[in-house]
């Protein structure tokens, strides 16, 4: 366990107040910004002035005061120098990778990743001359073996979607440093719980659509990294965020700013319930996968990586064996028990559940699904924190008995 406390770090960073002394920040909706002195304008264009150099803003696709508050809060939480917010998790991932790689370059990636990211690496980036070799995220030696003279990036998710395989980030970081590569980590499943940059990641990407926002009412992303990389991403000539333009709206930044203070509370409660329900399922003999269970293959690695006090997260899976069984369980849990909703996505206050092979991982071919250990009957749960935990456990038990998942 690590002693870093992202909640404390967030609390200690400079707090922004509203224009009239408001306890909440003001929303700066202006697309463009005026200057007092005409000399200031070329200085902003020249990078001599900016949000951090005299609080100068130019145009909201570049930097926006409200979006920049969120970026600063995120970098405090991640312990990175700086951050950029984007319009979605996918734009954060694609801009980060396109900034680090060009035509002819190569990426070594975990094979257990979000379907959209898999499509980006496997289908889209090859059209731009960037190739990827996929390896098992638990096998650091496989990453090393796949490195070629053209490799620029090692890519992984902290906790892989949906099999929950955990990447050994400190070992991957050592490898990346030895080979002069960038380690890019998607930490969407485990904000605050695990701090990849503290463990050696060069770039941490997020879909803030999930836990960080926590209300399933917006789509957003972030890239947390060095100041130098942020300035590359925002460069007026070649910056991938600046020129591809996945700009975050300041109203959206405001919404997320107001939800960050309770992210730690939410993560702990997601974790508490994840552990309680998966323990009960295990007692009943159900094939459940949860990093907090001692039976989890990488339980001790998970324990090593976690920041103390945050638990093992809100994601677990049940292998129902077949797609039909998985559908029966989903139907029972949503339509009879009111346990949660059949929906993709995660990190909501209510439980969201889906059959991964037929939904969020369906971009991945049947054969590749098998290779990454994704069973067609795997149901992924993002456990919510509404209702009483005792009732939730009863509902789950009744549903698994009804669909015949219990042998007895």
Ligand X SMILES: *Cc1c(COP(=O)(O)O)cnc(C)c1O
* Sites of contact with ligand X (CB under 6 A): 88-90, 114, 116-117, 157, 161, 186, 188, 207, 209-210, 219, 221
DSSP secondary structure code for residue 382 in this structure? E
110: preceding bond cis by omega (within 30 degrees): no
CB of 91 to ligand X, least distance (A): 7
Nearer to ligand X, 105 or 157 (CB): 157
If one counts every other C-beta atom within 10 angstroms of the C-beta of residue 313, the result is: 28
* CB-nearer residue toward ligand X: 157 or 269: 157
- Give min distance, CB of 189 to ligand X, in A: 6
Closer CB to ligand X, 25 or 347, in the complex: 347
Rounded CA-CA distance 396/83 in Å is: 40
Rounded CA-CA distance 118/367 in Å is 14
Instruction: Give least dist CB 205 to ligand X, A.
Output: 8
- Residue number with the shortest CB distance to ligand X? 89
Task: Lay out the sheet containing 131-135: strands in order across.
Answer: 82-86, 221-225, 203-207, 182-186, 151-157, 106-110, 131-135
Burial class (CB in 10 A: 0-12, 13-18, 19+), 397: middle
- Measured between alpha carbons, how far is 109 from 182 in angstroms, rounded to an integer? 12
Residue 207 C-beta: closest distance to ligand X, Å: 3
Nearer to ligand X, 88 or 140 (CB): 88
Distance of CA 92 to the CA centre of its chain: 10
List the helix and strand counts (H, then E) for the chain: 15, 12
230 token code pair: 């942020």
- Shortest Cβ 220–ligand X spacing (Å): 6
Which CB sits closer to ligand X, 147 or 218?
218
Nearer to ligand X, 99 or 117 (CB): 117
Helix axes 250-259, 65-78, angle to 10 degrees: 40
Least CB distance to ligand X at residue 199 (A): 17
**Least spacing, CB of residue 348 vs ligand X, in Å:** 12
Residues pairing with 319 in the sheet: 378
In the complex with ligand X, the residue whose CB is nearer, 44 or 93, is 93
Nearer to ligand X, 168 or 337 (CB): 168
Q: Closest distance between ligand X and the C-beta of residue 187, in Å?
A: 9
In Å, what is the CA distance from 401 to each residue of 30, 354, 384, 406? 57, 19, 22, 6
**Please, which residues have CB within 8 angstroms of residue 407's CB and are 6 or more apart in sequence?**
285
């Amino acid at each position: 366990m690590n002693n870093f406390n992202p909640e404390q770090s967030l609390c200690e960073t400079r707090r922004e107040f509203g224009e009239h002394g408001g306890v909440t920040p003001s929303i700066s909706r202006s697309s463009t910004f005026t200057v007092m002195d005409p000399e200031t304008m070329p200085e902003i264009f020249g990078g001599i002035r900016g949000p951090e150099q005299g609080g100068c803003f130019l145009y909201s696709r570049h930097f926006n005061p409200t979006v920049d508050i969120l970026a600063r809060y995120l970098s405090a939480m991640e312990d990175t120098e700086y951050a950029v917010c984007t319009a979605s998790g996918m734009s954060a991932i694609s801009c980060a990778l396109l900034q680090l790689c060009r035509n002819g370059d190569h990426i070594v990636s975990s094979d257990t990743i979000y379907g959209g990211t898999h499509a980006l690496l496997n289908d889209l980036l090859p059209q731009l001359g960037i190739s990827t070799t996929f390896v098992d995220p638990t096998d650091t030696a496989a990453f090393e073996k796949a490195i070629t003279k053209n490799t620029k990036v090692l890519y992984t998710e902290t906790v892989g979607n949906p099999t929950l395989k955990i990447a050994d980030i400190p070992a991957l970081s050592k490898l990346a440093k030895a080979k002069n590569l960038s380690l890019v980590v998607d930490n969407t499943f485990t904000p605050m719980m695990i701090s990849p940059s503290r463990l050696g990641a060069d770039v941490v990407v997020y879909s803030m659509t999930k836990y960080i926002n926590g209300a399933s009412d917006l789509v957003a992303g972030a890239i947390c990294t060095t100041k130098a990389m942020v300035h590359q991403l925002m460069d007026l000539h070649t910056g991938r965020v600046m020129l591809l333009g996945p700009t975050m709206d300041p109203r959206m930044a405001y919404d997320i700013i107001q939800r960050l203070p309770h992210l730690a509370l939410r993560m702990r409660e997601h974790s508490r319930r994840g552990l309680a329900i998966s323990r009960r399922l295990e007692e009943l003999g159900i094939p459940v996968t949860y990093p907090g269970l001692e039976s989890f293959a990488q339980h001790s690695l998970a324990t090593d990586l976690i920041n103390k006090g945050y638990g093992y997260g809100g994601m677990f899976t049940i292998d129902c064996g077949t797609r039909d069984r998985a559908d029966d369980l989903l139907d029972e849990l949503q339509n009879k028990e009111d346990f949660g909703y059949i929906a993709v996505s995660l990190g909501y206050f209510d439980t969201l559940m889906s059959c991964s092979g037929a939904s969020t991982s369906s971009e991945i071919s049947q054969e590749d699904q098998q290779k990454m250990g994704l069973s067609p009957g795997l149901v992924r749960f993002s456990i919510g924190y509404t209702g009483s935990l005792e009732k939730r456990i009863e509902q789950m038990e009744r549903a698994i008995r009804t669909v015949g998942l219990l042998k007895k």
